[in-house]
Amino acid sequence: MTTMSDRYQPPLSPTRPTMRHVAALAGVGIKTVSRVINDEAGVSEATRQKVLDAIAQLNYQLDVTAGSLRRAGRRTLSVGLLLPSVSNPFSGEIHRALEDALGARGIAVFAASLDDDPKREQAIIAAFLGRRVDGLVLTPIAKNQAYMIPEHSRNLPMVFIDREPVGVEADAVVTDNAVGAGKAASHLLRHGHTKLAYLGDRTDIQTARERRRGFLEEVGGAGIPTSALPVIDDLHDEEAARRAALELLNSEDPPTAIFSSQNLVTFGTMRAMKELGVHKRVALVGFDDFTLADMMDPGITVIAQHPERIGVKSAERLLARIDGDEQAPRTYIVPSELIQRGSGEIRPPA
């Protein structure tokens, strides 16, 4: 009886086996090996088995990149993903959803972090294009993506996420930033607040501008003059936000409700409120959900985005483009959602 363990194991060569080796061992031509691997028709079952045995014996693995050189359409079965930072949870969720959708098609994902640096954006895109990715999914930070026009006109599939492109036309998948921020505003107004404040991110980021616009329009639309409403922009980290919130809350006529336009700004604001002991008296609604928001005291009311849906949708669009969809580019909107947890339902002092 022959068992697995006494089957002949070929010595492992230091160089990786190629189709030529497999073909030689199986006693067939390399094209036949190629046919077997790619499940092409026209190989007898007996030959197929010989080839499969040789593949197993040599531990052969197809070189996808070499194949892509000749293959029709030149598919490399890899795509590039550019995120603000792979260490940011929001980006991580998008990445994960995208990976799952593309992985099902055998597509691997290159991921990279932009760090809000336009130069880095261009460098990473160049690096990915140099590896001939089949498509790009990206959160643009540069003011303008006109430098991508050459690729665009070569029909490179591209999907922009979170922010819309400027200077090229392409599909985009974004949260309804203005609407979401408007929801936050109307929620606070409905709870009786008239003294609101806005704490926002860098204004060179499109989403930040949208959130600000949505918030202020909703407040203005309710008849509250926005000229006197404190609007503090360019808060990009927790500490800056904390200091701004402290100053705001210590001012002569402090707001009774604050809207923070982004996670880190929300964290900084929470810290400032707790330091001053007003976290149960001043209302807070933050844009972006976060882990343990419900475990805070009070729970933090947020406008939640749906990164996984953004990821799924962008994968869907990218695959459609890769498969030859020639529709005019569109922007897809993923709705945000208000989640009440306490901090946004605090009423102003009577």
Q: What is the contact surface with a copy of itself in residues (CB under 8 A)?
A: 12, 14-16, 59, 61-66, 68-69, 76-78, 85-89, 91-93, 95-96, 99-100, 103, 106, 108-113, 126-132, 150, 153-155, 267, 270-271, 274, 290-292, 295-297
278 binds DNA per the rule CB under 7 A: no
Shortest distance (Å) from residue 190 CB to a copy of itself: 27
Q: State the Cα torsion 341-222-195-213 to the nearest 10°.
A: 80
The CA distance from 6 to 280, in Å, is: 73
Q: Which does 122 bind (CB under 5 to 8 A by kind): a copy of itself, DNA, none?
A: none
Per partner kind, with CB cut-offs from 5 to 8 A, the member of DNA, a copy of itself, none near residue 198 is none
Phi, psi (degrees; rounded to nearest 5) at 299: -60, 145
Cα angle 325, 327, 331; round to 5: 110
Q: Which is nearer to a copy of itself, 32 or 78 (CB)?
A: 78
Contacting DNA (CB under 7 A), which of 12, 13, 29, 274? Answer: 29
List the structure tokens of 270: 């929470």
By a kind-dependent CB cut-off of 5 to 8 A, residue 43 interacts, out of DNA, a copy of itself, none, with DNA
Q: Measured between alpha carbons, how far is 206 from 208 in angstroms, rounded to an integer? A: 5
Pull the structure tokens for residue 136: 């790009």
From candidates 10, 12, 16, 53, binder to DNA by CB under 7 A = 16
Instruction: For residues 155 and 278, give the distance between their C-alpha atoms in angstroms, rounded to a whole number.
Output: 54
56-75 mask for DNA (x: CB under 7 A)?
------xx--xx-xxxx---
207 contacts DNA (rule: CB under 7 A) = no
- In the complex with DNA, which residue's Cβ is closer, 120 or 132? 132
Nearer to a copy of itself, 22 or 219 (CB): 22
Q: Is 111 in the site for DNA (CB under 7 A)?
A: no
How far apart CA 34 and CA 39 sit, in angstroms, is 8
Chosen from a copy of itself, DNA, none, partner binding at 30 (C-beta under 5 to 8 Å by type): DNA
C-alpha distance from residue 14 to each of 22, 49, 52, 58 (Å):
16, 26, 21, 12
Would you put residue 29 in left (φ > 0), alpha (ψ -120 to 50) or beta? beta
- SS3 of residue 92 by DSSP: helix
Q: Collapse the DSSP code of 150 into the 3-class scheme (helix H, G, I; strand E, B; otherwise coil) and give the result.
A: helix
Residues binding DNA (CB under 7 A): 15-16, 18-20, 27-32, 34-35, 37-38, 41-44, 46-47, 62-63, 66-67, 69-72
